[in-house]
Amino acid sequence: MKIVVIQGPNLNMLGVREQNIYGPMKLEQIHAQMKEVATNSGVDIEFFQSNLEGEIVDKIQECYGDAHGMIINAAAYTHTSIAIRDAISAVSIPTIEVHISNIHRREEFRKTNMIAPVCTSSIVGFGPFGYHLAMVGMLQIMNEIAASQEAQRQTLQA
């Protein structure tokens, strides 16, 4: 099984930008922790970061038929991108949205969320730990899907 983690604009600047909001952890540190969870769970994980909306859309589309789950922090595109929303909807892969800060307690424009309605779940405001929560959640979702598929196979064989 494979999880693809997609990071949006400015997340490559974690640890540098607005540490009072996003904390001191760098993206590479977050990814290292996620990789450890994936490895311990026997799951493949791939990381992708782009500041460009079209590249994020392309990556989501590449997940179709290749990934069993996506974890995405669309960052500022969360509030504006119908293209990313449509790509998530099109691939029909379990998707967990992550935001380091609590977007509901920030500026008014951040309260508009274009992608949440097409995601399986959202995790906001837990800082970098939100990515760990997303990993645990995605592993659970993937296990439930696998168990359901196995039950269907057994029913068909009976």
Domains in the chain: how many in total? 1
Scanning the structure block, which residue is given the tokens 């168990």?
147
The CATH number covering residue 28 comes to 3.40.50.9100
pTM above the 0.75 mark?
yes
Scanning the structure block, which residue is given the tokens 């693809």?
4
Catalytic residue, candidates 68, 77, 99, 131: 99
Per-residue pLDDT of 127-141, as tens digits, reads: 999 999 999 999 999
**With 90 as the cut, is the pLDDT of residue 112 above it?**
no
Told to judge if 31 belongs to the known catalytic residues of this protein, a careful annotator would answer no
Per-residue pLDDT of 68-109, as tens digits, reads: 999 999 999 999 999 999 999 999 999 999 999 888 887 777
Q: What is the pLDDT of residue 153?
A: 87
Average pLDDT, the chain: 94
Structure tokens at 77: 């595109």
Instruction: Provide the residue range defining the domain that includes 101.
Output: 2-157
Residue 28 bridge partners (DSSP): none
**With 80 as the cut, is the pLDDT of residue 33 above it?**
yes
Map residue 18 onto helix, strand or coil.
coil
Catalytic residue, candidates 22, 68, 77, 131: 22
